[in-house]
């Protein structure tokens, strides 16, 4: 399983008052790895390609590989592509059967913000070469045409192709007798700005990921989710609020505002919000790509209620942009509404809030 550790700025940099000045920098985010995490590969000197959403520092970025059973380090060679510094590659200089862990340390070229992550793989004699994806272009806008070539998937098998962090469906194709396919599609209107993953998975579990830079992207970059459930005690309802920044915009002054449902009385919330005119307000100075939440609020209600959340935010490209990429911050908002929720019945056991 792939693990990512953000050293300097995570998706949620912390709950704080708006007077706290946010730091407009963000660490690199791994968008695509080829081969994918957890694969079994032939015992050969394999090459791994990692695509990030920020330009990397070639001198500070490194990748290492070690064997799981004894921790022995494998000889490798790492390069950051001079033509595309978001792309890092590591080549194994030796090969032997076993289970291995690849650890990457990626450093942003301008801000020096860093992130670490890991993925596992095995080398086995009986393993086959893993699927690969090729995309006809490196950059595109929403609505523009893409040609996607897949190789090494299962033979005569359906392959689902998706795009973006929230896996927007692109197409489903069938491979030929060699396990290859060639598909033509377009960038969906709701895929956000930034380096976006383009994923393909067949019905036998074969998978591959590539990356595409979406120059403008769909709207909004921040999507909100409001989920309600009865409880935890009789006569109560609880709403869980979360949000995902699916773009490479660094969002500023994010305000999550939950209105008290009509006819309900506010009881508690975690984390503790600021209460303003029958609303609960959580403030986040900066939010990088990724998810935050859940934030929970509990109310006493006598009948079915609906939770309504509004998120206000400003957006701009993160530190590390250049030329026409560096624009001012614009104020936007996103909204979310739960389904109708009925309070827990009298005599019901207290519910665990997962």
Per residue in 147-162, pLDDT (tens digit) is 999 999 999 999 999 9
> Of 127, 147, 168, which residue is a domain's last?
127
Strand-by-strand arrangement of the 222-230 sheet: 222-230, 236-245, 290-301, 264-270
Instruction: Report yes or no: 193 and 249 within 8 Å, Cβ to Cβ.
Output: yes
Mean pLDDT of 321-337: 70
pLDDT score recorded for residue 25: 76
- DSSP sequence for 62-85: EEEEEETTT-PEEPEEEEE-SSST
* 112 and 203 part of one domain: no
| pLDDT of 229 over the 60 cut | yes
Range of the domain at 205: 131-217
Measured CA to CA, the distance from residue 120 to residue 74 in angstroms comes to 14
Total number of domains in the chain: 3
Across the chain, what does the average pLDDT equal?
90
Percentage of residues of the chain with pLDDT beyond 70: 87
Angle among Cα 169, 170, 172 to the nearest 5 degrees reads: 95
* Rounded CA separation 297/302 (Å): 16
The pLDDT tens digits of the residues spanning 9-54 come to 333 333 333 333 344 678 999 999 999 999 999 999 999 999 999 9
Contact assessment for residue 13 and residue 22, using Cβ atoms and an 8 Å cutoff: yes
Residue 41's SS3 state is strand
CATH at residue 70:
2.60.40.1220
> For the residues of 266-323, what is the DSSP string, one character each?
EEEEES--EE-SSEEEEEEEEE-SEEEEEEEEEEEESS-B--EEEEEEEEEEPTT--G
In this structure, are 91 and 147 located in the same domain?
no
Do the domain assignments include residue 345? no
| 194 SS3 class | strand
Classify 167 as helix, strand or coil: coil
C-alpha to C-alpha distance for 56 and 320, rounded to whole angstroms: 10
- Is residue 350, in this structure, part of any structural domain at all? no
- Percent composition of the chain: helix, strand, coil (DSSP 3-state, to 5): 0, 55, 45
- Tokens 């045409």 sit on residue: 145
pLDDT at 216: 86
> Distance between CA 195 and CA 209 in Å, rounded?
12
Answer whether residue 352 is part of any domain.
no
Tell me the pLDDT tens digit for each residue of 93-133: 999 999 999 999 999 999 999 999 999 999 999 889 899 99
Instruction: Decide if 290 contacts 53 (C-beta within 8 A).
Output: no
From the CA atom positions of the chain, what is the Rg in Å? 23
Residue 329's pLDDT is what?
62
Separation of alpha carbons 261 and 133, rounded Å: 48
DSSP for 198-220, please give it. Answer: EEEEETTS-EEEEEEEESS--S-
Q: Which of 171, 197, 217 is the last residue of a domain?
A: 217
From 259, 265, 258, select the one nearest 295 (Cα to Cα). Answer: 258
In a domain, 251, yes or no: yes
Phi-psi region of 83 (alpha: psi -120 to 50; beta: other; left: phi over 0): alpha
Cα angle, residue 292 at apex, residues 291 and 297 outer, rounded to 5°: 140
Residues forming a β-bridge with 108: 56
- Could you tell me if 249 and 221 are in contact, meaning their C-beta atoms sit under 8 angstroms apart? yes
Same domain, 237 and 142: no
**240's tokens:** 């869980």
Are 7 and 88 within one domain? yes
Residues 150 and 109 in one domain: no
């Amino acid at each position: 399983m792939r693990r990512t550790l953000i050293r300097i700025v995570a998706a949620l940099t912390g709950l704080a008052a708006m007077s706290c000045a946010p730091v407009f920098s963000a660490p690199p985010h791994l968008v695509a790895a080829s081969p994918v995490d957890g694969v079994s590969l032939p015992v050969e000197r394999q090459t791994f390609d990692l695509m990030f959403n920020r330009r990397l520092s070639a001198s500070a970025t490194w990748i290492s590989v070690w064997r799981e059973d004894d921790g022995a380090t494998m000889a490798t060679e790492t390069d950051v592509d001079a033509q595309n510094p978001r792309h890092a590659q590591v080549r194994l200089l030796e090969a032997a059967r076993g289970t291995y862990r690849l650890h990457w340390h990626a450093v942003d070229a301008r801000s020096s913000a860093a992130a670490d992550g890991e993925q596992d793989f095995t080398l086995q004699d009986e393993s086959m070469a893993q699927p690969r994806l090729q995309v006809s272009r490196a950059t595109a806008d929403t609505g523009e045409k893409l040609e996607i070539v897949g190789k090494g998937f299962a033979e005569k098998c359906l392959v689902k192709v998706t795009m973006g962090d929230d896996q927007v469906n692109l197409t489903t194709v069938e491979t030929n007798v060699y396990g290859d396919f060639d598909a033509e599609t377009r960038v969906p209107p709701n895929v956000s700005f930034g380096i976006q993953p383009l994923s393909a998975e067949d019905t036998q579990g074969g998978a591959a990921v590539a990356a595409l830079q979406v120059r403008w992207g769909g709207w909004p970059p921040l999507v909100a989710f409001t989920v309600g459930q009865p409880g935890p005690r009789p006569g109560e309802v609880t709403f869980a609020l979360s949000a995902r920044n699916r773009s490479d915009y660094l969002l500023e002054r994010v305000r999550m505002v939950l209105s008290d449902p009509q006819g309900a009385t506010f009881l508690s919330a975690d984390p503790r919000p600021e209460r303003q005119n029958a609303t609960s307000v959580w403030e986040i100075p900066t939010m990088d790509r990724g998810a935050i939440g859940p934030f929970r609020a509990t109310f006493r209600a006598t009948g079915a209620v609906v939770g309504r959340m509004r998120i206000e935010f400003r957006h701009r490209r993160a530190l590390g942009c250049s030329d026409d990429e560096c624009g001012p911050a614009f104020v936007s908002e996103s909204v979310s509404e739960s389904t109708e929720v009925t309070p827990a019945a009298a005599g019901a056991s207290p519910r665990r809030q997962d």
